[in-house]
Amino acid sequence: MGHHNRHFSGDPYSLNGIWGPPTSAANFCEEDYAVTFYIAEFINALTNVTYIYYAFRYARNRGRNQAWNGHDLMSISLFLVGVSSFIFHTTLRQTAQLFDDLSMLLLGASFLLSVYTTNQTPVVQSLLATIICGGISIVSVIYLRTGNMVLHTISFGTVLLLTGPRTWYLIRKRKGLSKDKSGEKKKSSGLDYKLAKAGVLLVAGFTLWNIDLVMCSQLRAVRNYVGLPWAWLFELHGWWHILTAASAFEFIELVRIIC
């Protein structure tokens, strides 16, 4: 399931927003311009602040222990996801959707670069960085030219599938190197917890996103019944933003420890 085969458009106010009629290939279950004519999907837009919050929270946490050089690709990418997704859900324009999806690929690329280039020789690091950046660039260009959301979904899913096992391996290796140090053992156990937490948050967010797609009519009925502000709790795509932002933060913290 994915937003490439579900499209919710034609809402009563969808043609009255200041951004004009929606042109994006994706249109989610939240009723368009129901709250304000300035924001197409109100909750779906505002919940992107979570990505921005966690991007700056990481920068603050890093600053407690060491200077943050301002070039952290993971936290910068997370910030860009928040900004681009906010613009997309505010306007529902196709160009904004493309940049939103590309920011996700950039975030995935930053994860791959972090976990695959660590503990490698400079030559291997350069080779892997070239392969990763080249692959993401090719996919991004094709996606920009075609707008094929299936390609984006498969690409992003592949990035996650490649990131998980390598991260698990790095944790196992770290445990092996510190097996005689009880303090390090305890710390390494916390790494497993962080990886599991990031995974659970991601799966929970993905599940709610798909429920939002499959059960849109039922959710809209519930929202109409309970009324505002409680109806906003049932905007499940917004929860996807919140949960995946928390998942990304946990993973970034984990990667910075093991790398």
**Which residues make up each annotated binding site?**
30, 41, 89, 237, 241
Residues 167 and 247: beta-carbon distance below 8 Å? no
What DSSP string runs through 194-221?
A: HHHHHHHHHHHHHHHHHHHHHTHHHHHH
Q: What are phi and psi of 135, to 5 degrees?
A: -65, -45
**CA-to-CA dists, residue 156 to 101, 143, 196, angstroms:** 9, 12, 19
Rg (CA), the chain: 20
Which residues are annotated binding-site positions for Zn(2+)? 89, 237, 241
Q: What is the DSSP letter of 231?
A: G
Location of structure tokens 């304000």: 36
What DSSP string runs through 26-47?
A: -B-SSPTTSSBTTBSSHHHHHT
Residue 8 to residue 59: CA distance in whole angstroms: 37
Q: What is the DSSP letter of 233?
A: G
Which residues are annotated binding-site positions for Ca(2+)? 30, 41
CB atoms within 10 A of CB 250: 21
Alpha helices for 41-148 (secondary structure H): 42-46, 49-65, 73-91, 94-117, 122-146
Q: What are phi and psi of 10, to 5 degrees?
A: 80, 20
3-state helix, strand, coil in the chain (%, to 5): 75, 0, 25
Residues 182 and 189: beta-carbon distance below 8 Å? no
